[in-house]
Structure 1
């Protein structure tokens, strides 16, 4: 598969996963290209991707966004230590569904356990990434960042 096909599969799978996991209407904006560093200001969840496609997925928002998503899912806002735990689990659910959608397209990936990042942080370690803003109705914008690595397999380049 070509680089463009892998990127398209990952983007479409991310969108399908968000629409499946979140009980909130979403509007997906156009993806844009970003270069390192990516500035994260409040709260993010970082999940590694291994297999036919390698890299990292970042779910970036603020504490209020994650709290309100928790309220939509469980009927009450989530705060304090439970918010950090919920953010990680939400990222895990979205990435897990994403890997299922990717596998249905014939691509094998695995995900790593989530890492929750709180506070002002700059993320390096990638050349280019795709930034996908997702507007959650009456809540805010969750930004999905796909940091995909180029790798050489069988003398062809894949994502």
Structure 2
């Protein structure tokens, strides 16, 4: 998938190039971390509320500020974990895996971003279970990522122009 350079849903202040690079790096990181084929819907600007069974939030700070939120059903996270570790994950192991998956993906994306000269860091993951509403995210882009034999996760990237996460 190629993200069009005109897709500037995250940032509307003229720095869409960084946003597009961050999206590309998250997708590249997913391909490196998860051993399943994946397909991606075109990223879109999205200001609606979200509800899912599982979620994880990681802050991005440095030359880019914002948040990466991954949402999905527990069964999808479980199948991803099983594809990566060869065993079913349930209970505390599944909870831990959700946070670790977000760490691996955003950490790898941060490494890719920093390779282009940006100073970037991520915060520890916050794992959320149960139905939730997410408020307060600004300059949002959302993309659905479908993993072969596992299901679909939603990736929501919120981008602030300045400040700390």
TM-score, with length taken from structure 2: 0.87
Which residue of structure 1 lines up, in the alignment, with residue 86 of structure 2? 75
1:148 to 141, 144, 159: 159
Instruction: State the aligned residue count.
Output: 151
Shift of 1:139: 1.2
Matched ranges for 1:125-144 at <5 A? 125-144=136-155
Which residue of structure 2 lines up, in the alignment, with residue 123 of structure 1? 134
Aligned residues of 1:9 and 1:105 also touching (Cα < 8 A): no
Which residue of structure 2 lines up, in the alignment, with residue 30 of structure 1? 42
Which residue of structure 2 lines up, in the alignment, with residue 157 of structure 1? none
State the distance in 2 between where 1:60 and 1:140 align: 12
Matched ranges for 1:14-93 at <5 A? 14-35=26-47, 37-93=48-104
State the distance in 1 between where 2:36 and 2:124 align: 24
Shift of 1:11: 0.6
State the distance in 2 between where 1:86 and 1:138 align: 18
Q: Which runs of 5+ in 1 are unaligned?
A: 153-159
RMSD (Å) for aligned C-alpha atoms: 1.5
TM-score, with length taken from structure 1: 0.90
**Counterpart secondary structure, 1:77:** coil
More strand by share: 1
Shift of 1:147: 0.6
Q: Which runs of 5+ in 2 are unaligned?
A: 1-13
Which residue of structure 2 lines up, in the alignment, with residue 9 of structure 1? 21
State the distance in 2 between where 1:89 and 1:59 align: 12
State the distance in 2 between where 1:52 and 1:108 align: 5
